[in-house]
Structure 1
C-alpha cells in the first residue's frame, strides 16, 4: 500500500541540506511517496497529509509564534506540536537541570535583567535559536564581560532571552557527541566540532559543522537515555511518540558527561556519517508513527 509523507522545510532550503537523501530511498523501498515543502507554503496540503515530518524548518527562530501556530494546525505532525513548543526555547534546559539531570549549568537572562558573569570562559546565546546562530564565547575578566554585556544588550534589544553557560573546554579537543534515536530507540552517534568560529552556510540559517562517526561511551549513552526519559515525563508522552531525537553531550571539566542540548524539533541527524542501516531504521520509525 502506497503511503505519503511531507518533509517540512523552509523557503531558503526547500529540500534541506542533503543529509536525508538516503532516507528518501529507504522510505521509497517501503512504499512511501515523499515530497518536500516549506512549512509556510499554504498550498502544500499539510493538514491533509498522512504524515508531516519536521526536517529543515530552520527559519522558525525568526517567526516562532507563527511557526508554532502552524505546528498546532497540522494533525499528523512529527514530532508533535507539544514537543515543538517546549523544545524550540532552550529554557527547557533549566527544566531538565531542575529535574536532576547533569546539564551544562545554564542561567536564563530575561530582557532587562542583570547577570553576574562567570569567572571562567563562558558562552552567551539566545534561548530561541538554531544552528548556533547568535552564540558567542567570551573570556573571563573585565574585557570579556564588557564584550558580553554588549552582546547581551543586542539580544535584549531584540526582545530575546539569553542563556549564559560556562564554556566547556572539552569541546575544543573532543567536540560534542550527538546520539540519534528513532522511535525512542538508539540508532547511531556522531561527533560535532566546536562551531562558534565556523563559517555560516550560504543559506544563512546555520553554521557549518564538522562531523564524524562515533561510538558513545556507556556513561554517555546512559545520560542520553535519562534525558529522553525525563523529557518525555515532563511532556506526558511516550518515547515511541518521538519519531526522532538527538541528544548532544559534552564532557565537563571533571570528565563527566553533561547534556548540552536535547534536539526534538528539526535536528540534523547525521545520516552521512552513520552506518548503512540508519536510514532503514528511520524509515521503520516513520511506519511506526503511522501505525
Structure 2
C-alpha cells in the first residue's frame, strides 16, 4: 500500500456520509490506516486526481443526468469500476448483449422513442426505463385489466426521450424472492463469489416504486450452485473481461422452469449488502488495498 494512501468513496447529496450499508468498508479501510474521503460525484470542488483510487458507491441521483455522470466517470483518473463499464452498465440495453452471448436473462422487449408497443393480451408485466436506479419509474401491470396503464407507462417513458423495457413478472419473486449474488476479488485479484442476500417482492400492481433503499426486505442467504454459475456466465460476457472489476452484483430470479434468470447485472453503483454479511466489508477493503 502506498504511504499516505487516500481513497474516495463516491456518493450523492442524499447520502452525505454514504448509504449506511457502505459503512463497513469505510470503517475497515480506516482501520487499515487508509485516509477515506466521502465525496459527491458532482462536487465541483473535488480533485479526483488526489486519490489513489475512487470507488463508486451510492451516487443514486445520477439517473436524470446520466450523460453528465458518464462524462464525470471518464474524467476520473483511477476509478472502480472503470468508466467504460459505467457507460455500458448504466443503460440496461446491455441485457440484449448478454442474451446474444447465450447468458440466461429474463426475456426483455425494448421500445425506444418513436416506436410503438403492442401489449400482450394477458400476463403480468414490469415496465421500466433502461436508465434507472432504485426501481424509479418502474411499475407492475396485470393484463388485460391494466392494459391501458401499461401502454400509457411505455408511452410516457418514450415520450420523454427514454427507452422503455418490458419484462414478464416472475411469480417466483413472491415466494423464493430475488437473489443478489455478490462477487469480490480474491487474493489473486480474480473475481469470486463472496456472499448473497434474498430480496423480497417490492412491486405492487398499482403505483410506482420510488427510490427508498430502507424499504427493501433483505435477509442473508447462500446462493445455489446454479445461481453462481449463471452469474459467472454473465461476468464472462462483460466487455473487456471481469478481472478489471472491483465488485459485481448479479440479481437472479427463478424462471418458469425453476432455473435462475438474470434480471440485472449491476456493476456501477449497486448496494453490496455489506452490513448484512459479517466480514464482507473487510473483504472489499482488502480488495481495494490490493488495487493500490
Q: Retained in 1: the 8 A contact 2:135–2:209?
A: no
Q: Retained in 2: the 8 A contact 1:83–1:264?
A: yes
Give the drift of 1:16: 2.3
Asked if residue 186 in structure 1 is aligned to residue 193 in structure 2, the reply is yes
Q: How high is the TM-score relative to the length of structure 2?
A: 0.92
Give SS of 1:178's match.
strand
What's the counterpart of residue 245 of structure 1? 248
Distance 2:219 2:75 in 1: 37
What's the counterpart of residue 269 of structure 2? 266
Q: Retained in 2: the 8 A contact 1:47–1:73?
A: no
Give SS of 2:20's match.
coil
Give SS of 1:71's match.
helix
Alignment of 1:1-291 (within 5 A): 1-118=3-120, 119-141=122-144, 143-183=145-185, 184-197=191-204, 208-231=215-238, 235-237=239-241, 239-274=242-277, 276-290=278-292
For the aligned residues, what is the CA RMSD? 1.7
Q: Which runs of 5+ in 2 are unaligned?
A: 186-190
Q: Which runs of 5+ in 1 are unaligned?
A: none
Q: Retained in 1: the 8 A contact 2:109–2:166?
A: yes
Deviations 1:103-155 (Å, cap 9, x if unpaired)? 000111001211232332111100000001111111121x3221101111211
Compared with structure 1, are the counterparts of its residues 128 and 10 closer, same or farther at alpha carbon in structure 2 (3 Å cutoff)? same
Q: Retained in 2: the 8 A contact 1:130–1:206?
A: no
Q: Retained in 2: the 8 A contact 1:112–1:156?
A: yes
Give the drift of 1:208: 2.5
Give SS of 1:186's match.
strand
